[in-house]
Amino acid sequence: MIHNTTKQRLQEGQTVVGCFYPYADANLAEYLALLGWDFLVFDGEHGPLEASDFHDLSRAAEVRGVTPIARVATNQTHLILRALDSGAHGVHVPWVNSAEEAEAVVRAVKYQPKGIRGLAGVRAADWGFTEPLADYVVRANRETLVVVHVETAEAVNRIDDLVAVDGVDVLFIGPSDLSHSLGVTGQVNHPAMREALDRVAAAVVGSGTALGIMAKAPAMAEEWRERGATYITTSLNSLFQPDAQRYVAALRSPADAPGH
């Protein structure tokens, strides 16, 4: 029975922190869930995940009290439906560039009368065992989290329209894609990037919609928390790489390095 603690904390004005996870291994996902995250984002855009993987991954998060969220590959109704039916408590939807596209996300996530999501006795509804489907529909419409990505110059230019869309819980900045869209690939401190990020933050913070950000390093996460972001994420790879490299470097003399 879905109870979205991440959405509840956001609505209470708290900061929530999560990690993107791109692999199908539910054991590793459960291990990651034990580290204290509020939510895990199972990455079906840049990872190899299929709709069937979301079932076990959602279980792995739920059993440890962590909110399971699915990032779908594109803004398509059937992809959103299958991710949510598997038990994810919300979705990340990339490449949303207009109010119309954001409204389509909300319609795909929500059941009638708020949307067009198809209804069945699936895992998300506990297969219809724990409450009537009519009650489940009300609960799901209340609890599901809608996260829309802001990651193109077009989305930045239309940020006021995106903020105005009813039903979007988080407007989420993807710095890598945004820098690429602006023609300054990977240069997150470029003036064009700073201007775009400032514009998004100014429009979203205080609007009633949460501001989200992918912050790979702790310093960036802290900076954005101070700027008003309350939905902050990193990635498993960003966590693993620096510590692994430091560990190896500490134990290897120059003569031991590869190529010597």
Prediction pTM value: 0.94
Residue 119 buriedness (CB in 10 A; 0-12 / 13-18 / 19+): middle
- Average pLDDT over the chain reads 95
CA distances from 134 to 50, 174, 223 (A): 29, 36, 43
Please give the average per-residue pLDDT across 57-68, as a whole number.
97
**For residue 147, what are the CA distances in angstroms to 38, 43, 159, 259?**
15, 13, 14, 45
Is residue 258 situated within a structural domain? no
pLDDT at residue 1 tops 70: no
Within a domain: residue 147? yes
Name the pLDDT band for 195 (thresholds 50, 70, 90): very high
212-241 average pLDDT score: 95
- Cα–Cα distance between 113 and 260 in angstroms, integer? 67
CATH of the domain at 155: 3.20.20.60
Q: Is residue 248 situated within a structural domain?
A: no
> How many Å is the Cα radius of gyration of the chain?
19
Q: According to the model, what pLDDT value does residue 258 have?
A: 65
- The pLDDT value recorded for residue 47 is 87
Where in the chain does DSSP place strands (E)? 16-21, 39-43, 67-71, 90-93, 145-150, 170-173, 210-214, 231-235
Any domain includes 136: yes
pLDDT tens track for 230-248: 999 999 989 999 999 999 9
Domain range enclosing 145: 5-236
145 has which bridge partners? 90
Residue 96 near residue 75 (C-beta atoms within 8 A): yes
In a domain, 250, yes or no: no
Query: Which one from 46, 78, 92, 180 is the annotated catalytic residue?
Result: 46
Q: DSSP for 20-49? A: EE----HHHHHHHHTT--SEEEEESSSS--
Q: Is 146 a member of any domain?
A: yes
Distance (Å, whole) CA 8 – CA 87:
17
Average pLDDT over residues 25-33: 97
pLDDT value of position 121: 93
Q: Residue 253 falls within a domain, yes or no?
A: no
* 149-166 per-position pLDDT tens digit: 999 999 999 999 999 999
Q: Judge whether 180 counts as a catalytic residue.
A: no
14 falls within a domain: yes
Structurally, the chain folds into a number of domains equal to 1
